[in-house]
A and B are shown apart, each in its own frame.
Chain A
Amino acid sequence: MADALPRPAPEPVSPRHSLRAAWAVAALAFVILWQWGEPVADWAFDYPRGWEIPVKRWIGDFMKWLLEEASFGLFSFTDLTRFIADVIDVPYRIALSLLSTGFLRGQGSDAVQVVPPLPWLAVIGIVGLLGHAAGGLRLAMITAGCFLFLAVFGQWENAMVTLASILIAVPIGVMGGLLLGILGHRWRWFEAAITPLLDLMQTIPIFAYLVPILFLFGFSPTAAVIATIIYALPPMTRVSMLALRSVPSEVRDLGRMIGCTRRQMTWRVLVPSAKPDLMVGVNQVIMLSLNMVIIASMIGAGGLGYEVLAALRRLDIGTGLEAGFAIVALAIALDRLSQAAAARKPVHAEPGAARQPLWARHPYSAASLVLIAVTAPLALVVGWIESYPAALQISTGSFWAETMKWINVNFFDQLEAIKNALLLNVLIPVKRFLLGLPWPGVVGLLGLLGYTLGGRRLALTVAVLAFLIAATGQWEKAMITVYLCGISVMFAALIGIPLGILAAERERAGRVIQVVIDTLQTLPSFVYLMPAVMLFRVGDFTAMLAVIAYAVAPAVRYTAHGLARVDPQLVEAGTVAGCTPWQLLTKIKLKLALPEIMLGLNQTIMLALSMLVITALVGTRDLGQEVYIALTKADTGRGITAGLAVAFIAIIADRLISAGAARTRARLGLQR
């Protein structure tokens, strides 16, 4: 994700001593301004309102213009959005009818069901068949098991609503991303044009573009599907461009040699050859769409996401957790399914297969059809075939609520003590410190850091982005974001790096950690929020815990990976030289793995920022909250401006760390 961002080439750095002098002077100036500047230079601590760039208003006006006046001659912009909404709405209605509501005649509460939805048994059967087709019996058990879980725990209805929107969003997202990727592959200028946009889309928090979507498409499931598509599209585009580019040049030559037209070249040669890589993108689209489920329910998606969100809002932990688990079950089933489908290799048919009847050549489709044909009529008469019997449903909601109550009754003091100790000794002091810094000083120091690490261009990028945050009047909220993100990343590193070391050094532990990390990464971000809220209620501390849990994975993964990649000859050399294992680790391996670990931290920061915005739901006071408020008020200008500020923080961190990692790598003489 973020380490695919293009980086400016490091320019030659000025001689060391003059740079050191510059740092000394800058630090001195900074301290003076910070300690004694307030009475004389008030503006440095509180960006004056009069100087603000009215970006919010501009964006707001622009949106208004779009809605009320923009026109392409034959049709207006609103016609276009309505058209897009309709194009998505039709297949969505069909999927929803099939899985959840049945096909209706009439409107609203007078509607009569003409055709019922698919019986739950048929859906589970089909999912199991899909699993078997993609990955054999084991996968069939997993997928069918996950869906059975949905039925048993009473989440079937909601899960099918969610599944319907995923079933629509994923193909559109995949196709859209692929098409953009193809265009980018065909025309260099197009790639150059969309790459920065993709960078921005991946760093801007999701909430920020919910606002304009809400504005353009209204509060509806369709708007939610559109938001999901937009969210899941950039990685697919990136993956597509990469996959198409890595098709061997010989295959390309083959296409031209046999006289393919341009279209044949794209669809018959390049795309099929790139399919294994493209499937990675498909898996990403599925996972991102699921990740979006809860957030999308803020602008009209129903189903599991809405359930979680509503429960979270009224702090009904039991219900929220149940729906959350259901999302996880859905995520696991779809993730494993798409991964198995991606890994599947074609196998030749037995000779004579062509002469077999149609059903024998397509056994899975045939079995699915038979399943539907048998269960659908039966469902009309036998209740338990149509829907899972309510009497057999298990509700764990009260169990979770009871458990929580028990923990809170018995361990309240201890939990509270931990929370307060950390708040008082770490969180609050850091927050005070950051909020007290003068913005011109911070901008200047960031610029100098950029210059030291990467030269003039990086210095300029970093300083300008930081200044823009101040100039749009968001400095204070940005600092709170930085503080929450910084502390979370620090804890994530403190937990993740040792775990990564453990995973690299001890094989068995490594396997366990790998499985845990993989599972953690399939979980939608909201899932992390719930246990934290249950134990510590709303506030910064809770947000921090959720962010740590969500963002720790890359720290572990990159550390383990970096250590595993250290040249074994160097380790042997160290052993021969008589290093103790501890010396080997600290003096050789960690030193050489440092660039990789830095990239892991970079990823951790990116994940932390994206999670941080979500934690606005539990009452933080940062940029995330700003976006969230904008969403509830449908204030596009405010939402996008705050979203951009988060993106700027992400870009600043990414560029600085990447430049630092590149420098370290160069110093160590490592090539990537």
Chain B
Amino acid sequence: MPDTPAPADTAVTLECRNVWKLFGPEAQGFLAGQTAAPGLEAIRAAGLVGAVQDVSLAVREGECFVIMGLSGSGKSTLVRCMSRLIEPTAGEILFNGENLLAARPDRMIEIRRHRMGMVFQHFALLPHLTVLGNVAFPLEVRGVARAEREARAREVVDLVGLAGREGFFPRELSGGQQQRVGIARSLAGDPELWFLDEPFSALDPLIRREMQDEFLRLQAILKKTIVFITHDFDEAIRLADRIAIMKDGRVVQIGTPEDLVMNPASDYVAEFTRNVVRAKVLKARSLMAPLDAETLPEGTADVAASATVAEIAPLLSEGAERLRVLDGSGAPVGLIRREAVVDVMMRG
């Protein structure tokens, strides 16, 4: 998680505008014949499955955008529409301003080869290739010479912490290691936009946690633009700059983890956030009071505006009553009172 969330004015890498995906016969005709956006009942009555319905969202450069929803809510379908692995029934997908749905097949191959990477839930490793072979495979497909692609593959294999296992075959690795290979492979081509479809869902909880840390470490180094799919709200909170929550093919809310926890748009969202420990989500920025009201005593501790309440709390346990909040450039922007922190911690 980068220190500061991408501000609203950074460039948009990927934008979905009113994207629809209806599975079933004659879906296109059905949608074209509607005057207003059809509801769930109308879609079902027409014998179609509304996997993605009227989704609009924008993924900004360098942010980690998490799409979260329960099983069957349409996450995989949506992310596959974004890379056009699935042809949307209607809508527009803009990648750096270019409409992907208008791109010709060879242009699509070009974009996928050089600018997109994807990690899969069940790893999708090729069983007959070694770790090195799997990681170098995308480069091989686009015709990179052997020495060059293996050198690059070794680099990313090192990066994901698998050095020494280059010659192993997928079935000789544990699930966590296999997904590391999947991650390395998706990074081999140095993509601009990185899709991860429930990359850690098939792993045991402990390994999952470890892989999330690994992911955060990588993102701190690489700073990719990321679309990350998960059905685990805690995972979303840990990793996301912003989260889109999906239900039955629709996006019900988009916002930072803090937004969702503090201002859930509906009971459905509130249901997810209820068990979240607020102290781990709330940032100093949203808790601070204006600075001008009182002068701070000498030796007041400083905290970053992006620090979570849980991170601040230990400082207060040493008896301090006030903390000074600094923004990214080190300038003081506010102060935090002990009572406010205690209040958050008490509410859980």
Contacts and interface: CB of A to CB of B under 8 A. Distances in A.
Interface of A: 248, 250-251, 253-254, 256-261, 264, 268-269, 272-273, 275-276, 345-349, 351, 353
Name the prevailing secondary structure of the A interface residues: helix
A139 B31 CA distance: 62
Contact of A257 (B83, B128, B172): B83
Contacts of B110: 259
Contact of A251 (B112, B124, B169, B195): B124
A253 B167 contact: no
A348 B172 contact: yes
A349 B132 CA distance: 12
B181 to A, nearest CB: 12
A348 B127 contact: no
Contacts of A264: 141
B120 A258 contact: no
Given A347-B169, A348-B172, A273 B85 contact: no
B122 A250 contact: yes
Nearest to B131: A348
B142 interface: yes
B120 A253 contact: yes
A254 B118 contact: yes
Interface in B114-149: 116-118, 120-124, 126-130, 137-138, 141-142
16 contacts: A253-B80, A253-B120, A253-B124, A257-B195, A258-B137, A258-B189, A259-B110, A259-B142, A260-B141, A264-B141, A268-B137, A272-B126, A272-B128, A351-B164, A351-B167, A353-B167
Interface of B: 80, 83, 85, 109-110, 112-113, 116-118, 120-124, 126-130, 137-138, 141-142, 164, 167-169, 171-172, 189, 195
A259 B112 contact: yes
A257 B126 contact: no
B138 A256 contact: no
B240 to A, nearest CB: 23
Nearest to B138: A258
Contact of B169 (A254, A272, A346): A346
A353 B130 CA distance: 14
B169 A273 contact: no
Contacts of B129: 272
Nearest to A251: B124
Contact of B127 (A259, A273, A349, A351): A273
Nearest to B80: A253
Contacts of B189: 258
Contacts of A275: 127-128
B112 A256 contact: yes
B168 to A, nearest CB: 4
Contacts of B141: 258-260, 264, 268
A250 B127 contact: no
A250 B172 contact: no
Nearest to B114: A259
Contacts of A250: 120-124
A254 to B, nearest CB: 4
Given A251-B124, A253-B85, A253-B124, A258 B113 contact: yes
Given A257-B112, A258-B189, A345 B124 contact: no
Contacts of B167: 348-349, 351, 353
A258 B112 contact: yes
Given A257-B85, A273-B128, A346-B169, 10 more contacts: A250-B122, A254-B124, A257-B117, A257-B195, A258-B113, A259-B112, A268-B137, A272-B126, A275-B127, A345-B169
A248 B127 contact: no
B113 A259 contact: yes
A273 B167 CA distance: 18
A76 B128 CA distance: 44
Contacts of A257: 83, 85, 112, 116-118, 195
Contacts of B121: 250
Contact of A259 (B109, B120, B164, B169): B109
